[in-house]
Structure 1
Amino acid sequence: MKILVCCGSGLGSSFMIEMNIENTLKSLGIKGIEVAHSDLSSAKGIPADVYVGTRDIAVRLEGLGGEVVSLNNMIDSAELKDKLIEVLKKLKYV
């Protein structure tokens, strides 16, 4: 299972969300998920089961082959946790 976090430049915000996802997975006791970050342009060439981005980016992640998680607020850990659990259940990972 791979989660790819995307932002416009692939640096600050995607890296921060990647770390938040890793912390959330750890707090939930979920292992075996690779989490990475990328810029939007490179994401097209990186296969993933789940693509995560802020709502302005998420629409551009549709059609890449994985589930898309759209975050309204990239620093809202409760929103991230809820949406992450929802997509992992949908993929029958948890």
Structure 2
Amino acid sequence: MNVKCVCGSGLGSSLLLEMNVKSVLDKLGVEYDSVEHTNISSFSKNGVDYVVVGADVAPTLDFPKERMIVLLNILSKDELEQKLKETLKI
């Protein structure tokens, strides 16, 4: 499984998302091939299984909605864990 964390500009918030996604996936015992971060202008959906993104950026991202984890609060590990469980059907 390849996960891409995307932010609107720069790379700070997407790096934070990447660290949180790795932490939550490890906690849940979910194996993954890669979790990486990028900004929206550099995003490529090739080879990406899931995207983690803030609600502010999600509408502009060209990616299937059913494989997009959209967060209202990108700092909330609880919200991230809940939405990962829903999306991955854990």
Give TM-score scaled by structure 2 length. 0.86
**Which runs of 5 or more structure 2 residues have no equivalent in the other structure?**
none
How do 1:2-41 residues align onto structure 2 when only pairs under 5 Å count? 2-41=2-41
**Which runs of 5 or more structure 1 residues have no equivalent in the other structure?**
none
Deviation at 1:49, TM superposition (A): 1.0
Q: Distance in 2 between matches of 1:37 and 1:10?
A: 10
How do 1:1-94 residues align onto structure 2 when only pairs under 5 Å count? 1-44=1-44, 46-61=46-61, 63-65=62-64, 67-89=67-89, 94=90
Matched length: 89
Q: Distance in 1 between matches of 2:54 and 2:21?
A: 14
Q: Distance in 1 between matches of 2:42 and 2:28?
A: 29
Which runs of 4 or more aligned residues in structure 1 lie more than 6 Å from their structure 2 counterparts after TM superposition?
none
- Amino acid of the residue matched to residue 63 of structure 2? L
State the superposition RMSD in angstroms: 1.7
Q: Kindly, what percent of the aligned residue pairs are identical?
A: 37
Deviation at 1:3, TM superposition (A): 0.8
- Give the number of the structure with larger relative contact order, counting CA–CA contacts within 8 Å between residues 6 or more apart: 2
CA contact (8 A) 1:3 1:35 kept: yes
Give TM-score scaled by structure 1 length. 0.83
